[in-house]
Amino acid sequence: MDIEPRKIQETNRMKDWKNEPEQGFSLWAKEHGYSPRTTKVYRAVFLAYLAHLGKVGTPLERASSAVVAGFLASRGLKEKIQERYIWLLSDIYEDMIGAGQAEENPADMLRARRKRQNRGKIAKRLPLALSDSETEVLLASIKSLPMHFSGQREKCAVLLLLGCGLRVSELCALLTNDMHLEDDPPWLTVIGKGDKERQVPIPEGIVNDLIDLIELRGCYDGNFLGALNLGTPYSPSGVYRLVQRALKRAGILKARMSPHVLRHTYATRQLLTGTPLAVVKAWMGHETIASTAIYDHVVSARAGVRPVV
């Protein structure tokens, strides 16, 4: 398989938070449509955070909640201002996670720790996933979308996030010829973090939806979520808005309304059906089994085993 065009495609599209964080910030701010004044304020906060990371010798993508807390403490901020800083950093880390350039959101973890400290909870929160009933409501909602191209593209994006556990960056980079829809069972090729290739099975129940979108677009190569008749890439920020719209339409409100919630839901549902942890790890593209094992905590709470007194 020829991977080189994909590499060029991804380089042109994705922010490089790790190597060029200031450029990543500029693109992030532009996607959010902030005014020049707001962008200037947020940039100053982000640059101060980068300077703090340099002092403590921690890469942006590997910062912990303790590092974020140390940054806030070093600024001597009032509680309300700290909350604003945490919100800003949390949104940036959510963008990094969606682009496959960070595994965790330390600002979100700090926010969770502060909320739970009186109850003795740990800072690292469990993955936020949809319940079974919420998942069914979401699926029913997207199946009622209009049959035109935009409606069906939104439906297929949600189905791939929920049915294949893709990261946002992986979904945006997915090419039509990566999808082996006629095979038994159907599967797709994914180029994930670190340019690592993996194969992910496609639920048979969504195959016809994917085929319908390809035929609607009238282009049998190029980017799967590409624009009508063109195949130009779909942006990560566009996927974020798409997922938020789909969740709101279904009447689902979560603390985080991001595509990563659907990825968490995918992992949780696979484990609940008895799929081995190692298999889910491979499908998710996790580097270590520890990243997948955290979903065991969610599954244990939903397993239906009743505690005794």
pLDDT by residue, tens only, the chain of 309 residues: 333 434 433 433 467 898 999 999 998 988 888 888 889 999 999 999 999 999 999 999 999 999 999 999 998 888 888 989 999 999 999 889 888 888 889 998 998 888 776 454 444 566 789 999 999 999 999 999 988 888 899 999 999 999 999 999 899 889 999 999 999 999 999 988 778 899 999 999 999 999 999 888 877 778 888 766 554 567 788 888 889 999 999 999 888 888 999 999 999 999 988 899 999 999 999 988 888 888 876 776 666 555 555
Contact 303, 295 (CB under 8 A): no
The one catalytic residue in 6, 111, 125, 263 is: 263
The question of whether 43 is a catalytic residue gets the answer no
Residue 286 designated active-site: yes
256 is catalytic: no
Angle between helices 79-98 and 21-32 (to 10 degrees): 100
- Asked if 173 contacts 6 with a C-beta cutoff of 8 angstroms, the reply is yes
The single residue listed with the structure tokens 């990261």 is: 167
Q: Write down all domains in the chain, each with its CATH number in brackets.
A: 4-119 (1.10.150), 132-302 (1.10.443.10)
Cβ-based burial of 198 (10 A; exposed 0-12, middle 13-18, buried ≥19) = middle
Q: For residue 108, what are the CA distances in angstroms to 25, 115, 192, 308?
A: 18, 11, 24, 34
Active-site choice (15, 260, 264, 269): 260
* Separation CA 169–CA 109 (nearest Å): 23
Active site residue 111: no
What is the DSSP annotation of 226-285?
A: PPTTT-PPPPHHHHHHHHHHHHHHTT---S--SHHHHHHHHHHHHHHTT--HHHHHHHHT
Active-site residue flag, 143:
no
CA separation, residue 158 to residues 78, 206, 232, 239, 271 (Å) = 40, 11, 19, 9, 20
Given 42, 93, 234, 295, which residue is catalytic?
A: 295
Q: Is 260 one of the annotated active-site residues of the chain?
A: yes
- Measured CA to CA, the distance from residue 247 to residue 253 in angstroms comes to 7
pTM attached to this predicted model: 0.62
Distance of CA 103 to the CA centre of its chain: 10
Of 193, 198, 256, 302, the active-site residue reads 193
Catalytic residue among 13, 111, 125, 286: 286
Helix, strand or coil for residue 225?
coil
pLDDT digits (tens, 9 = 90+) for 90-147: 999 988 988 888 888 999 899 888 877 645 444 456 678 999 999 999 999 999 998 8
Q: State CA 286 to chain mean position distance.
A: 13
Residue in 15, 167, 269, 281 annotated catalytic? 167
